[in-house]
Amino acid sequence: MIIKNVHIENNPKLQDVEIRDGRFYRIADEINGTGQVIDGKGSLLLPPFIDSHVHLDSTLTAGEPEWNETGTLFDGIRIWSERKKSLTKDDVKKRAKKSIELMASNGIQYIRSHVDVTDPKLTALEALLEVREEVKDIADLQLVAFPQEGILSFPHGKDLMTTAVKEGVDAVGGIPHFEFNADYGRRSVAFLMELAEKYDKLVDVHCDEIDDPNTRNLEYLATEAYERGMGARVTASHTTAMAQYNDAYVCKLMRLLKMSGINFVANPLVNMHLGGRFDTYPKGRGITRVKELLANGINVSFGEDDIQDPWNPLGTGNMIDVVKMGVYACHLMGHQQLVDSYKLVTTNASRTLNVKDYGIKEGNEANCVIVGSSDFYGALVGDATVLYSIRHGKVLVKRNAPDVEKNW
């Protein structure tokens, strides 16, 4: 296959890309040959989109058994805990696959999903382990054992986490800010890090997703990651309390965060609305310090978190929507910041997920998307869509640019 006339990752120069045997074979100013030719017509060629944080067990359950009218994280957890009682394997598989198909149609080829393991039957886990295999042709799915109702604060929480790890999740999760007390929070972090190290798993913790400036689990997670030398394999998700910490504390914390080498995932769509719900005015905005983390050379990616569930009644499975909210909310509106913002849902996310062989380079797996604009700034301004998603050298998605008839 030859892809002609594309701007690779905002490169002003038009180039051609040749794919052979499912890998990028050659990138050059002009390549001609036989076989399938896709004319990019001056569009943008990017590595595939990555959703580095989503919950596919709760996806598409918005309104079941009730809508989240307060918009708090805690009402979301309460409503999900009710819905969880009626889960069946078939129900989870159907909804998860529907969302994955939606995501794939928008150029997402890599997904990290949390799966709630605070369920004595582990129904969602069994379902998503099967889904991970069944969707391989359209997306790489990583699963995180996520203890929604706590590890030490839920009956047999430690055993459920250990079972999930033995059954084959990719990463170990946690929720220290939701444990009954600060001591349990710290001990849950120590437990999950120990478990991950023992079984050689990645780590992705829902860490300090609360508007409480006194929450301090992030420093424990970073210390554990640093001392165990696991930083590159560890992710702190949400960390919205960082928006409430005082600057003197953040200055001291930032040194440790850099030393630890951990990754961060912010979820702008969801945390912009879950955050600040207990404030009158001034109202906290519920999003972590993305700009400062990036300025300190720390890896940050964006996730969508939810597609139509108790935490987000909206959510469309499209990472461009996530970037749009994120650049506004995080004050990343400088021109070059906008041009580069695709990295938050591509390259940076690939680092978070520890994806190998990712990116448009000769020799790598031929996974990429063609977006209908010459650069990513244009894609944001013009509401550009994914025209092609190419995976393992084959066309997975093809979409024609919208054809609007204008009668003036």
CA 267 to chain centre: 8
Nearer to ligand 17E, 231 or 317 (CB): 317
Minimum separation from the CB atom of position 347 to ligand 17E (A): 24
Residue nearest to Fe ion (CB): 305
Q: Binding of ligand 17E at residue 73 (CB under 6 A)?
A: yes
134 is annotated as an active-site residue: no
As given in the structure block, the two tokens for residue 385 are 């869509």
- Residue 306 contacts which entry, ligand 17E, Fe ion, none (Cβ below 5-8 A, type-dependent): ligand 17E
CB 303 within 8 A of CB 237: yes
Nearer to ligand 17E, 208 or 209 (CB): 209
- What is the distance between the alpha carbons of residues 79 and 309, in angstroms, rounded to a whole number? 10
Nearer to ligand 17E, 233 or 238 (CB): 238
How many residues form the binding site for ligand 17E (CB under 6 A)?
A: 11
Among 132, 186, 206, 289, binds ligand 17E (CB under 6 A): 206
Minimum separation from the CB atom of position 71 to Fe ion (A): 15
- Residue 270 contacts which entry, ligand 17E, Fe ion, none (Cβ below 5-8 A, type-dependent): ligand 17E
Minimum separation from the CB atom of position 124 to ligand 17E (A): 13
Q: Binding of ligand 17E at residue 132 (CB under 6 A)?
A: no
- What is the distance between the alpha carbons of residues 168 and 146, in angstroms, rounded to a whole number? 13
Minimum separation from the CB atom of position 147 to Fe ion (A): 12
* Amino acid occupying residue 11: N
CB 215 within 8 A of CB 241: yes
**What string marks each residue from 145 to 174 as x (binds ligand 17E by CB under 6 A) or -?**
---x--------------------------
Q: Binding of ligand 17E at residue 51 (CB under 6 A)?
A: no
Q: Binding of ligand 17E at residue 305 (CB under 6 A)?
A: yes
Which is the catalytic residue, given 209, 224, 304, 365?
209
Q: Binding of ligand 17E at residue 209 (CB under 6 A)?
A: yes
- What is the distance between the alpha carbons of residues 6 and 68, in angstroms, rounded to a whole number? 44
- What is the distance between the alpha carbons of residues 17 and 134, in angstroms, rounded to a whole number? 30
- What is the distance between the alpha carbons of residues 46 and 9, in angstroms, rounded to a whole number? 5
80-87 long-range contacts, Cβ below 8 Å, gap at least 24? 80/116, 80/148, 80/309, 80/310, 80/311, 81/148, 81/149, 83/58, 83/310, 84/116, 84/119, 84/124, 87/57, 87/119, 87/123, 87/124
Question: Which residue, chain included where needed, has tokens 């700034």?
Answer: 377
Minimum separation from the CB atom of position 181 to ligand 17E (A): 17
- Residue 341 contacts which entry, ligand 17E, Fe ion, none (Cβ below 5-8 A, type-dependent): none
Minimum separation from the CB atom of position 329 to ligand 17E (A): 15
Minimum separation from the CB atom of position 153 to ligand 17E (A): 13
- Residue 254 contacts which entry, ligand 17E, Fe ion, none (Cβ below 5-8 A, type-dependent): none
* Residue 378: count of CB within 10 angstroms of its CB: 18
Q: Which of these segments, 1-9, 246-254, 304-312, 347-355, binds ligand 17E (CB under 6 A)?
A: 304-312
Q: Binding of ligand 17E at residue 75 (CB under 6 A)?
A: no
Of 403, 393, 357, 374, the closest CA to residue 38 belongs to 393
Contacts of 122 (CB under 8 A, 6+ apart): 160, 163, 164, 167
CB 73 within 8 A of CB 209: yes
CB 387 within 8 A of CB 399: yes
Contacts of 407 (CB under 8 A, 6+ apart): none
- Residue 191 contacts which entry, ligand 17E, Fe ion, none (Cβ below 5-8 A, type-dependent): none
Nearer to ligand 17E, 29 or 69 (CB): 69
Distances from the Cα of 81 to the Cαs of 84, 121, 295, 392, in angstroms?
5, 14, 38, 39
Name which of residues 286 to 305 contact Fe ion (CB under 5 A). 305
Q: Which residues bind ligand 17E (CB under 6 A)?
A: 55, 73, 77, 148, 175, 206, 209, 270, 305-306, 311
Residues annotated as catalytic are: 209
Q: Which residues bind Fe ion (CB under 5 A)?
A: 305
